[in-house]
Structure formats: C-alpha cells, structure tokens
Amino acid sequence: MAADPKPLELLYKHVNGIDIFMDVYISPSATQEKPAPVLCWWHGGGLLQAAVTGVSPHHLRAPARHNITFISADYRLAPQFRFPAILSDCTDALKFVKSDEFKKVTQGLVDTSRIILSGSSAGGWLSLLCGLGIGFEESGVPKPPPVQGMIPIYPITDLEDPFWKIPQRPVPDFGRIITEEEVQPFIDPKDPGSHVASVSLDSPRSIMYYYMLQSANLADLLLSGTGIPPTAFSVAPFLRALSSPTKLSVPPIYMVHGDQDTKVDVSQARDVAEALKSLKQRFDVDYEYDELEGIDHLYDREPKCEMENMYKFIERVFRS
C-alpha cells in the first residue's frame, strides 16, 4: 500500500501568538505551464474541535487521481474565538492562496484563478458562507475573493434549525452524560491554554461536539457576546431572499448529505436544496444535491469511499 502523500505545511496567519496553518497537496501532474486548480477544504467539528489533518482518504488520493491541488486550511476554534474571528481566518486563508508568496512557495504549480471551496459538516457551512458571502457584513469581516464553486458535505446550514435547540441527554452513540468539569478546560473563552486553531482528532477536546449536542448550545458557543443574531449565518433564508443572483454571487454548488445523519440533521441540507431549486427555476442557478439513503455522518471517511459524483462536479466546473 502506497504511503499517504506529504503536504506542504504553510503558515498563512499569525495572530495573538497563534500560528494558523494550511496543508497543501500539489498534483504530481502539475507543471508551471499547466498548474493544477484548487479544492480548498475546511474540517468539521462544529467549529469547536478537530484539525487540519482530519482529511478523508479520497482527499489524499485526489491530487494524483484528479489533477487538483488539495488544500486543508485551519481556523481558530470556538468558544475561545467566535464566528467573526473564524470567518476572518477563512478570508485570510483564501487571500494567502491568491498571494505572490503562495505562488512562490508552490513554484507556480497551482492555478489559484480556479478555486472550489469545500468542507465537511461545519466546514461545509464555512464553504457556503465564504462562497456566498453570508454573515461577513454582520461580522465586520471582509468577504473572501470570489470562487468558482462550492461543495458542502453534510453541512450545518442554520443555527435556527430545531436540531440545535433540543438537548440530547445523552447523545445516542456517546452513551453517557458529559459533565461540566470535563469540558471546563475547553469552554472558558478567557482560558489562554484553550486558544487554539487545531487539535488532534484524539484530543480530550474532541468531546466538545457531543457536549454541544447534549446542551443544545451551538449558537451560544459561536456567538455569545458578539451581538450578532444566529440568523446572520442561515443559508436557505439568504438564498430565498435573492431577487436577481448573478453567476458571481451564486457559483455552482454540489451538496451531499445522508438521510440518516445523527450529527447534522438532513433537514438543513434539504432546506438549502429547496432554495436552490427555486433559484434554478427562476435564474438557472447551477446546483446538484445528492441525498444518500441510509447514510450517517462521516461516511466519506471510509477508505473505499470515492465521492465519484463530487469529483465529476469538480471536473465539470473546472472544464467550463
């Protein structure tokens, strides 16, 4: 079995003593004459946990198999950093990818004029927010550069969805109640030891998502003290309110979600899909939605998962 490819580990931001990195996997077929386009991905974890290294096997195969540059970009974590800080990290990551410094360190092998945003779970939400410019004005954060497409994978899409407001005690597959003492080291926004942009997948902090589901407090963890309403980050209402979207404001979207997802209810993807369906009928917006029968969260982490429809979408968008 071939070893996993090794990424370039690039520091794209340093703020308040915190280094924030991205891992860049360059296509082995890329040349300076034919640089490889970009799939930029953000990890999930409710914006509360996980790391830049938490990629799926198909991501690692993608540069060689599909001739793309795969980028996994980190961001600071809530509740130590609220939504505005996280969105600012996303904007800065994409600005860095567009910079002369990035072009130099990647030796001109990356076509940064062609970028598709992606992410899993909360990362899928970030891809939609960045690609559509949702929540940036309310957060006082500059919008990212425009992109060519978005691929939200089983995304969170709306803090107002009832799924986030009904406590699960205990969360079914966790099997017990998480105590306040267990999460205290990770819950205090003033604790400098918790000011992080990345934690390993086996970190003690990895109970934070279960704690959030148990407590039904995602909006509070992401927005407390900001004065920003949760509705500022609701994707379907934003799409429904559009009266004359342009090709630039609504790039092509491919979204996939399992109908048995226990970590992010499929209703959120369905709401966005319905809004996109209406926009397609009125304005010919380009979108695809795959709902997978009997499939739970994180299904794409399985080694045999190829995400064929997703990569067909990528090929089509980059070819157009």
In tens digits, the chain (320 residues) has pLDDT values of 567 889 999 999 999 889 999 999 999 999 999 999 999 999 999 999 999 999 999 999 999 999 999 999 999 999 999 999 999 999 999 999 999 999 999 999 999 999 999 999 999 999 999 999 999 999 999 999 999 999 999 999 999 999 999 999 999 889 899 999 999 989 877 765 566 777 777 788 999 999 999 999 999 999 999 999 999 999 999 999 998 877 668 999 999 999 999 999 999 999 999 999 999 999 999 999 999 999 999 999 999 999 999 999 999 999 98
pLDDT of residue 66: 97
Residue ranges with strand state E in 166-315: 253-258, 287-292
Q: Both tokens of residue 290? A: 């795959």
177 with 128: CB under 8 angstroms? no
Strands of 69-73's sheet, edge to edge? Answer: 8-15, 18-25, 69-73, 36-42, 110-120, 149-153, 253-258, 287-292
Residue 40: inside a domain: yes
Q: Both tokens of residue 146? A: 């425009």
Looking at the structure of the chain, the number of domains it has is 1
Residue 278: inside a domain: yes
CA distance 205 to 202: 8
Across the strands, what pairs with 287?
253
Q: Which single residue is written with the structure tokens 């961001």? A: 75
DSSP category for residue 169? S
Residue 2: inside a domain: no
Sign of CA dihedral 166, 172, 176, 178: negative
150 with 181: CB under 8 angstroms? no
Distance of CA 246 to the CA centre of its chain: 23
Rounded to the nearest 5°, which phi and psi values hold at 276? -70, -35
The model's pTM: 0.97
pLDDT of residue 76: 95
Residue 97: inside a domain: yes
CATH of the domain at 314: 3.40.50.1820
Residue 171: inside a domain: yes
> Based on the number of CB atoms within 10 Å of its own CB, is 231 exposed (0-12), middle (13-18) or buried (19 or more)?
middle
Sign of CA dihedral 209, 211, 213, 219: negative
Residue 3: inside a domain: no
Kindly report whether the peptide bond that precedes residue 170 is cis, defined as omega within 30 degrees of 0: yes
pLDDT of residue 22: 98
pLDDT of residue 221: 97
Residue 151: inside a domain: yes
Q: Which of 250, 248, 230 is nearest to 239 (CA)?
A: 250
Residue 81: inside a domain: yes
* DSSP notation for 192-209: GGG--S---TTSGGGGHH
Residue ranges with strand state E in 26-89: 36-42, 69-73
Domain hosting 97: range is 8-319
293 with 259: CB under 8 angstroms? yes
Q: Both tokens of residue 19? A: 């280094």
